[in-house]
Structure 1
Amino acid sequence: MAETFRAVTLDADKCKGCINCMRKCPVQAIRVRNGKASIDYDKCISCGNCIRSCPNRAISARYDSYDILNGYSYRVALLPSCMYGQFPHIYDAKLILNSLKNIGFDHVFEVARASDILSLLKRELFIMKDYKEAPVISNVCPACVELICSRYHSLADNLLDFLPPLGVAAKLAREEARGKSGLPDGDIGVFYLSPCPAKVQQIKSGYYSNIKELSGVLSIGETCKKLNLVDVADVRTDDDIKASNMGIAWSTCGGEASNIPNTKQLAVDGIESVVGVLKELEDGKLKDIDFVEMRACQAGCVGGVLNITNTFVAKSKIHTLRKTVLLNKNNVTDKVDKPQEFYKNNWKWETKDVFKLDGNVLKAMEKMSKIETILKALPGLDCGVCGSPTCRTFAEDIVNGTAGDSKCVGRINESFRAGKNARL
């Protein structure tokens, strides 16, 4: 049986058991036992928070090596617009786009072109009110989608049923490459330059298995390092930017929502803030909102952990780029000239019961009762020293038999002062 791909990996030899990653994980998927962290991949949403927080670089992201390009005669790069923000001192976007041809690509397709098309489609969607549930939730960020499907099941039907820009771009890029190269699909490689492990996981886990247009996924960070070695004088700026301001805006939080006029919108970035909004949506507190844009990374895709430039510097660069170099790119050059089925996903959002205590309702209730009893005996400090993120998760781990030899330090200290032996 093939190994399940994991975009976020942990090197136990580098791990010092410092619990930084455990405390930063928004879905409490990390535990520290016997001085080493471990990830529950059934709960992990590949947001990359643990990668950012690990001081020992024990946690990293996986993606394809550039060697994968050698297996194809014609190579296409799917360029996300957040990559323009990775070069603070280069204001010619054409230079960045065309430089990719100097490191092994034959053609570059801007993902923002797909964002342009989707912006037009969504405008029509809201004019016709052709959606199942309100508010409609963006499906662009795979970490947020995974979070909804694993923890906020009631909101799964609110997810937009168009393909995200990456999916549309992959289909259009391969179609364009066939026309330019005259080669069969097997000789054409289409590669996405990813700013985050969530999109790597999305692609590698078969999320786009129904499309088959993507051949691999590379890191923006590694790509930028290669581009920094390219002599600008050797770059031929033959290709112009085809995406409009509207599509490029999607790389920063709020850009997607701002392109849907006459709607009540909400744009939220940062996974902790996303969790807060999802809770309010689930409780029915935001019923007057038409569209919700969610990005797990701060400031949007420019804040992805695989990027190399400071998030806010990159965000500023994108805004400057849109106001100056791309001032004349206000019109969408790509047309919505295909049936809507081309742009829509053909799968149903699948929810996962990874946070259930037990599949049997009676057993789950029994476990919950035990958890509440244990919780009353714990100090409620949520210090994490036991190796679980909170006192509640520690109680759950005890009941589920996964706590191992972990002990509650708070209880031990209390018992020591009282001259008793602690059991927890």
Structure 2
Amino acid sequence: MDKFINSVQLDKKACTGCINCIKYCPTQAIRVQNGKAKINPKFCIDCGRCLRYCPHHAKVAIYDSVDEIKNYKYTVALPAPSLYTQFNNLKNVDIVLNALISMGFDDVFEVSAAAELVSEASHAYIQEHIDEAPFISTACPTILRLIRVKFPTLIPRLLPLKAPVEVAAEIARKRAIEQTGLPSEDIGIFFISPCPSKVTYVKSPLGIEKSEIDKVLAIKEVYPILLEHMTHDESTLKPLAASGRIGIGWGNAGGECNGLLTDNHLACDGIMSALRVLSDLEDEKFHGLKFVELNACNGGCVGGPLTVENPYIATAKYKKLQRNLPVSRSHLKDYNNVDYQWSTYVEYEPVFRLGTSFRESFEMMGAIEELTEQLPGLDCGSCGAPSCRALAEDIVRGKATKNDCIYSFHEYISTLSKDISDLMASLEQEQDADIRAESAQTLKKYIQTLTAEIEKKEQ
């Protein structure tokens, strides 16, 4: 299985090479070359920031079509907790769950119900391994991938438990097989996701060999369809809800921490804030923490790029919704046959390593420092890299040249032009025919170099 599958991709036709995206990518996975953006799949963690900041919508999220429902004999929808916060004045989640049945699904199982199970399992695991704390949440695939490529020393701190969406998929599949008698391949498990990172997780999961989820739909695609099927006549609704405040709270930043019912935790949302927290964790700046919850999106999953509502408004809607909810409805004792533990462990992927050995990397780092000092330090992005240091790294890796910097290029052209001018002046005064011929050839080469460099820049 490809380790570096991505669900955020580039639409080259829409891309204008405007360099907005390179400024917002937290892992510097994007470069603009020859007037088009280019995404390095090894560096990309599918955080979706470029989806938000690209003014030309040239970054697109890959997910499945709702029509995929027709390709299975029996289908189960797994609504993310953040789905409920997309609707106005929602007081009963059964309205949404029944709408999912009405739009074509045969059954539903709430991811928020599985979240309550994972909360209990997490609490038990942390108490049992308290000497190894703090543990880092593994619910957000983007954070998990970020740690895998940039923070190898933190990998042992990852909480080795399955994400709620995977637990929900396993329970839903087992239940569907028992109820229908159909083989597993005829049953489609559909997750309704707030972000493209979950699409990547299904295709290339971490912590498990293979995901039980078959297809991933975007909330923004399902949302308008659900509106047509929603009814507020509660007398006709089937009682499908199986989660309370703890489970649905996972859709917001801090919800997972609240579900642990313990103190000494830290909750952080937003990928740039998460980077800072991870750096501080690596430097052991925190003391006494038991658990760290990190969300790549602002506000948590309610801020995912595949949602429709503003994350802060969605959070306000959740607070209204939780008033009518019990604390919890799903408990471990009701699902004794579920395995919550990872089956495999995350391994460090040194994609940012410069050389093949420590000595080579050290030498390349020295070259980067030297080049960075030579560059103007403006971080303007005109070279197609997000910063002067990033350009220096690209140069050392052999993927760019110093002349990609517009300021260095101007200096180079100025020096070359002066050399041509001086050579022409000396050529006019030279009397020796052989020296004149040799100087003329040198002058020709200079002019050819100057022309070639200008043409390259114009392209």
- The CA deviation at 1:345 is 1.0
Q: How does 1:129-208 map to 2 (within 5 A)?
A: 130=129, 133-207=132-206
Question: Residues 374 and 333 of structure 1: is their aligned pair in 2 closer, same or farther, counting only changes over 3 Å?
Answer: closer
Q: Distance in 1 between matches of 2:30 and 2:167?
A: 34
Q: Distance in 2 between matches of 1:239 and 1:183?
A: 25
- Equivalent residue in structure 2 for 1:392, among 367, 374, 389: 389
Q: Provide the secondary structure at the position in 2 that maps to 1:169.
A: helix
Matched residue, 1:239 = 239
The amino acid across from 2:395 in the alignment is I
- The CA deviation at 1:234 is 9.2
- The CA deviation at 1:60 is 0.7
Q: Distance in 2 between matches of 1:156 and 1:64?
A: 31
Question: 1:222-246: CA deviations, max 9, x gaps?
Answer: 0102112336379941133210211
- Whether the aligned pair in 2 keeps the contact of 1:134 and 1:291 (CA below 8 Å) is yes
Q: Distance in 1 between matches of 2:289 and 2:2?
A: 43
By percentage of residues, which structure has more helix? 2
- Whether the aligned pair in 2 keeps the contact of 1:21 and 1:53 (CA below 8 Å) is yes
Question: 1:201-224: CA deviations, max 9, x gaps?
Answer: 011124476355211111111010
- The CA deviation at 1:375 is 1.1
Give the structure with higher Rg (CA). Answer: 2
The amino acid across from 2:237 in the alignment is T
- Whether the aligned pair in 1 keeps the contact of 2:379 and 2:386 (CA below 8 Å) is yes
Q: Provide the secondary structure at the position in 2 that maps to 1:279.
A: helix
- Whether the aligned pair in 2 keeps the contact of 1:132 and 1:158 (CA below 8 Å) is no
Q: Distance in 2 between matches of 1:331 and 1:197?
A: 28
Matched residue, 1:103 = 103
Question: Residues 396 and 211 of structure 1: is their aligned pair in 2 closer, same or farther, counting only changes over 3 Å?
Answer: closer
Q: Provide the secondary structure at the position in 2 that maps to 1:201.
A: helix
- The CA deviation at 1:409 is 2.6
Question: Residues 375 and 331 of structure 1: is their aligned pair in 2 closer, same or farther, counting only changes over 3 Å?
Answer: closer
Question: 1:396-419: CA deviations, max 9, x gaps?
Answer: 111111116852234456778999
The amino acid across from 1:200 in the alignment is V
Matched residue, 2:368 = 371
Question: Residues 288 and 406 of structure 1: is their aligned pair in 2 closer, same or farther, counting only changes over 3 Å?
Answer: farther
The amino acid across from 1:210 in the alignment is E
Q: How does 1:300-311 map to 2 (within 5 A)?
A: 300-311=300-311
Task: Give the alignment's Cα RMSD to 1 decimal.
Answer: 2.6
- The CA deviation at 1:55 is 0.5
Question: 1:174-224: CA deviations, max 9, x gaps?
Answer: 122223323222221111111101111011124476355211111111010
- Whether the aligned pair in 2 keeps the contact of 1:245 and 1:322 (CA below 8 Å) is yes
The amino acid across from 1:105 in the alignment is F
Greater alpha carbon shift after TM alignment, 132-141 vs 99-108: 132-141
Matched residue, 1:119 = 119
Matched residue, 1:226 = 225
Matched residue, 1:382 = 379
Q: Distance in 1 between matches of 2:215 and 2:230?
A: 26
Q: How does 1:277-292 map to 2 (within 5 A)?
A: 277-292=277-292
Question: Residues 416 and 104 of structure 1: is their aligned pair in 2 closer, same or farther, counting only changes over 3 Å?
Answer: same
- Whether the aligned pair in 2 keeps the contact of 1:196 and 1:306 (CA below 8 Å) is yes
The amino acid across from 2:168 in the alignment is A
Question: Residues 254 and 274 of structure 1: is their aligned pair in 2 closer, same or farther, counting only changes over 3 Å?
Answer: same
Q: Distance in 2 between matches of 1:11 and 1:278?
A: 32
Q: Does 1:346 align with 2:354?
A: no
Q: Distance in 1 between matches of 2:232 and 2:250?
A: 30
Question: Residues 239 and 337 of structure 1: is their aligned pair in 2 closer, same or farther, counting only changes over 3 Å?
Answer: closer
Q: Distance in 1 between matches of 2:166 and 2:414?
A: 60
- The CA deviation at 1:2 is 8.9
Matched residue, 1:76 = 76
Question: Residues 411 and 2 of structure 1: is their aligned pair in 2 closer, same or farther, counting only changes over 3 Å?
Answer: closer
The amino acid across from 2:49 in the alignment is N
Matched residue, 2:250 = 250
Question: Residues 209 and 162 of structure 1: is their aligned pair in 2 closer, same or farther, counting only changes over 3 Å?
Answer: closer
Q: Distance in 2 between matches of 1:265 and 1:380?
A: 39
Q: Provide the secondary structure at the position in 2 that maps to 1:363.
A: helix
The amino acid across from 1:345 in the alignment is W
Q: Provide the secondary structure at the position in 2 that maps to 1:166.
A: helix
Greater alpha carbon shift after TM alignment, 117-126 vs 72-81: 117-126
Q: Distance in 2 between matches of 1:180 and 1:194?
A: 25
Q: Distance in 1 between matches of 2:408 and 2:402?
A: 14
- Whether the aligned pair in 2 keeps the contact of 1:257 and 1:293 (CA below 8 Å) is yes
**Structure 1, unpaired ranges of 5+:** none
Question: 1:52-72: CA deviations, max 9, x gaps?
Answer: 110001011001112221121
- Whether the aligned pair in 1 keeps the contact of 2:116 and 2:259 (CA below 8 Å) is no
**Structure 2, unpaired ranges of 5+:** 420-449
The amino acid across from 1:365 in the alignment is F
Q: Distance in 1 between matches of 2:4 and 2:276?
A: 31
- Whether the aligned pair in 1 keeps the contact of 2:391 and 2:400 (CA below 8 Å) is yes
Q: Provide the secondary structure at the position in 1 that maps to 2:108.
A: strand
- Number of corresponding residues: 420
The amino acid across from 2:6 in the alignment is R
Matched residue, 1:320 = 320
Q: Provide the secondary structure at the position in 1 that maps to 2:339.
A: helix
The amino acid across from 1:123 in the alignment is H
Q: Distance in 2 between matches of 1:411 and 1:217?
A: 47
Q: Distance in 1 between matches of 2:282 and 2:145?
A: 16
The amino acid across from 1:356 in the alignment is R
Q: Provide the secondary structure at the position in 1 that maps to 2:257.
A: helix
Q: Does 1:356 align with 2:353?
A: yes
Q: Provide the secondary structure at the position in 2 that maps to 1:64.
A: coil
Q: Provide the secondary structure at the position in 2 that maps to 1:161.
A: coil
Q: Provide the secondary structure at the position in 2 that maps to 1:287.
A: coil
Matched residue, 1:401 = 398
Q: Distance in 1 between matches of 2:207 and 2:293?
A: 21
